[in-house]
C-alpha cells in the first residue's frame, strides 16, 4: 500500500503539535515533575536540619543549622530498623508467592470447561469483586473468626485471593489456549 505525497504530509501534520502548544505542554510537564520531586528534596533537606531549628524557624529549603541528629537516631535504633526491613521483604515475598499460587489454582478451576462447579465459582468470584465486605467486617472476620492477630498471617492471609487477579489469570489462560 503506497501513499501519495499529500497523504504523507497530512499524516505527518496530524501527529505534530504547534510550537506554542508544545511549549505549554512542556511547561505543564515540568511543573508536574517539580510537584512530584520537590517533596523528596524537601524531606532530604529537613533530615539534615536540627530539631531546634525546625522548632524555632519552621520548615525551610535553606537550613539555618545543619545536624546529623536524625540519622544518629535512626541508626541508634539498632535491630528495630533491620527487623522492619525483614518484615517488609518477608511479607512482600511470601504474600506475592502465595497470592499468585492461589490465583493460578482458582483460575484453573474457572478455565476448565469440564469442571462441574465452574459456573458457581465464576459467579462467586465476580460477586465478591463487585460487593466487598468493607474494612470493619473484614477486620472482625480476621480477628474473631480466623484468630489472626499479631503475626505474619494477619498481613498475608486477607490478601491471598484477589478476584481481579483470578479473572486476569483466567483470561490469560483462555488466550494462551486459543493460540496453541
* Per-residue model confidence as pLDDT tens digits over 117-170: 899 998 998 888 888 888 898 889 889 998 988 899 999 998 899 999 999 998
66 SS3 class: strand
- To the question of pTM greater than 0.75 for the whole model, the response is no
Sign, CA dihedral 55-56-58-59, equals negative
Question: Is the model's pLDDT at 111 over the cut of 60?
Answer: yes
pLDDT at 20 over 70: yes
Distance between CA atoms of residues 97 and 93, nearest Å: 6
Question: Rg of the chain's alpha carbons, rounded to an integer?
Answer: 27
Amino acid at each position: 500500500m503506497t501513499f501519495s505525497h499529500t497523504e504523507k504530509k497530512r499524516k505527518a501534520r496530524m501527529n505534530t503539535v504547534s510550537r506554542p502548544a508544545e511549549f505549554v505542554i512542556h511547561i505543564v510537564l515540568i511543573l508536574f515533575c517539580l510537584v512530584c520531586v520537590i517533596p523528596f528534596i524537601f524531606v532530604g533537606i529537613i533530615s539534615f536540619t536540627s530539631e531546634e531549628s525546625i522548632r524555632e524557624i519552621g520548615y525551610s529549603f535553606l537550613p539555618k543549622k545543619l545536624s546529623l541528629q536524625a540519622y544518629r537516631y535512626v541508626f541508634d535504633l539498632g535491630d528495630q530498623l533491620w527487623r522492619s526491613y525483614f518484615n517488609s521483604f518477608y511479607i512482600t515475598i511470601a504474600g506475592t508467592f502465595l497470592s499468585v499460587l492461589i490465583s493460578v489454582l482458582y483460575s484453573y478451576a474457572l478455565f476448565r470447561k469440564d469442571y462441574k462447579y465452574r459456573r458457581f465459582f465464576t459467579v462467586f468470584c465476580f460477586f465478591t469483586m463487585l460487593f466487598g465486605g468493607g474494612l470493619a467486617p473484614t477486620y472482625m472476620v480476621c480477628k474473631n473468626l480466623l484468630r489472626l492477630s499479631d503475626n505474619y498471617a494477619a498481613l498475608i492471609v486477607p490478601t491471598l485471593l484477589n478476584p481481579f487477579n483470578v479473572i486476569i489469570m483466567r483470561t490469560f489462560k483462555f488466550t494462551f489456549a486459543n493460540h496453541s
